[in-house]
Amino acid sequence: MTDKRKICVVTGTRAEYGLLYWLMKEIQADDALELQVIVTGAHLSPEFGLTYKVIEADGFEINEKIEMLLSSDTAVGITKSLGIATIGFADAYARLKPDIVVLLGDRYEILAAAQAAMVARIPIAHLHGGELTEGVIDEAIRHSITKMSQLHFVANEIYRRRVIQLGEHSDRVFNYGAPGLDNIHRLRLLDKNKLELAIDFKLKQTVFLVTYHPVTLYDNSAQCMLYLLRALEHFPDASIIFTKPNADTNGRILIKMIDEYVENHPAQARAFISLGQTLYLSAVKNADVVIGNSSSGLVEVPALKKATVNIGDRQKGRLRAGSVIDCEEDEKQIIAAIHKALSPEFQDSLCDVVSPYGEGNASLRIKEQLKAVNLDGITIKEFYDLV
């Protein structure tokens, strides 16, 4: 009997875990594989909801918890957290001895996980490479992780070509679509009445779902949030569901502003640290417009045939469906974009929207590739030149 192949999945945030959930389930259910789970970052922070408990409640054993968040969201604090995380991952990998490490996306804690795996010569499978987000440091982090990884699972053919352009061998770059879309097809989403009960919030006829994260290459996130909140004042008849920002530079400032807005508009607005995938996607399903600068507005929301108002440059460069309305970080432009999204003509057009990120079932295909790939000599890479 051969030993099981050990697949180590790393997660640091609620959103990232939601995208990895079905891949983790697929690995867990395969008798030829052993799932290892490392949690870090915001999952272990009371301020961000101690969401590691959700992972355990979902039936996963957490093999390692890596504490790395300092009580600071300054550039210095984030950089020190990155160093602490790298040390923690070095120790965790030494104990777990995984055959493959699975990393998703472009956050700084994932950069720490990649650095430690690269030095330990553990093959890395990277999800969502090749994308562009030109307004945040994630842009450089994502491409850096690509160069440290041996297997690449991208969400669109354009992204596949971009990863190959970075010198990765075409035989190791797989376009299976976005794994987050599996949630839409495999989760039972709530109708409006059940959602209201679940979040203890009575929704009006018009519903906004708002998620705004710091734009980490600039220092104006608080001013931009102020523009957004002022714009929302122009829609007093809408219910507003806020999901709070991630643990990024200046994130706490934005959280304070959201909390103050909700305190001043108790009948109109409610804010949540984490809704989880079922409640979040149920909120999307029952929203008229999703507003902010989150990647979900471009990836998952179009698959549910809902309108997105995408603000500013945080997602600049990502592929967009026809349901996405871009606007500058300006009060008047945000108001105009929301009015356009609510217009009967735009709402009627949503039924024809096609997502550029696939049709689901990515998780099973990724798992099968992780199971079948030959790992002999895989960490020794040659730069793949374009002909």
C-alpha distance from residue 123 to each of 3, 238, 249 (Å) = 17, 48, 30
Backbone φ and ψ of 57, nearest 5°: -65, -25
Backbone φ and ψ of 366, nearest 5°: -65, -45
User: What is the pLDDT, as a whole number, of residue 2?
Assistant: 63
Between helices 75-96 and 108-119, what is the axis angle to 10°? Answer: 40
Of the candidate CATH numbers 1.10.10.10, 1.10.3080.10, 3.40.630.30, 3.40.50.2000, the domain formed by 5-180+360-372 belongs to 3.40.50.2000
Torsion sign over Cα 320, 324, 328, 329:
negative
Cα gap 57→69, rounded to integer Å: 23
3 state SS of 70: coil
Contact of 335 with 150, CB cutoff 8 Å:
no
Cα gap 19→280, rounded to integer Å: 12
What's 189-352's CATH class? alpha beta
Could you write out the DSSP letters of every residue in 14-68? HHHHHHHHHHHHHHHH-TTEEEEEEEEGGGG-GGGT-THHHHHHTTPPP-EEE--
Cα gap 59→25, rounded to integer Å: 9
User: What is the pLDDT, as a whole number, of residue 220?
Assistant: 80
Give the residue extent of every domain in the chain: 5-180+360-372, 189-352
User: Which strand (E) or helix (H) includes residue 144?
Assistant: helix 138-148
Q: pTM for the complete prediction?
A: 0.88
Contact of 289 with 307, CB cutoff 8 Å:
yes
User: What is the pLDDT, as a whole number, of residue 215?
Assistant: 80
- Short-list 114, 72, 108, CA closest to 89: 114
Contact of 299 with 155, CB cutoff 8 Å:
yes
* H-only helix segments in 58-104: 75-96
What does the block give as tokens for 232?
């929302």
The pLDDT tens digits along the chain (387 residues) read 468 999 999 999 888 999 999 999 999 999 999 999 999 998 998 877 889 999 999 999 999 999 998 767 788 888 999 999 999 999 999 999 999 999 999 999 999 999 999 999 999 999 999 998 876 788 899 999 999 999 999 999 999 999 999 999 999 999 999 999 999 989 999 999 999 999 999 999 999 999 999 886 666 888 999 999 999 999 999 999 999 987 666 788 899 999 999 999 999 999 998 898 999 999 999 999 999 999 999 999 999 999 999 999 889 889 999 999 999 999 999 999 999 999 999 999 999 999 999 988 899 999 999 999 999 999 999 999 987
3 state SS of 318: coil
Cβ neighbours of residue 130 closer than 8 Å, sequence gap 6 or more: 146, 152, 154, 156, 158, 159, 160, 161, 162, 163, 166
Cβ neighbours of residue 311 closer than 8 Å, sequence gap 6 or more: 212, 224, 228, 291, 292, 293, 327, 328, 329, 334, 337
208, HSE (Cβ side, Cα atoms, 13 Å): 31
Residue matched to tokens 């998780």: 363
Torsion sign over Cα 281, 130, 356, 20:
negative
Contact of 98 with 73, CB cutoff 8 Å:
no
DSSP state of 352: G
Contact of 213 with 292, CB cutoff 8 Å:
yes
Amino acid letter, 182:
D
Cβ neighbours of residue 46 closer than 8 Å, sequence gap 6 or more: none
User: What is the pLDDT, as a whole number, of residue 1?
Assistant: 46
User: What is the pLDDT, as a whole number, of residue 249?
Assistant: 67
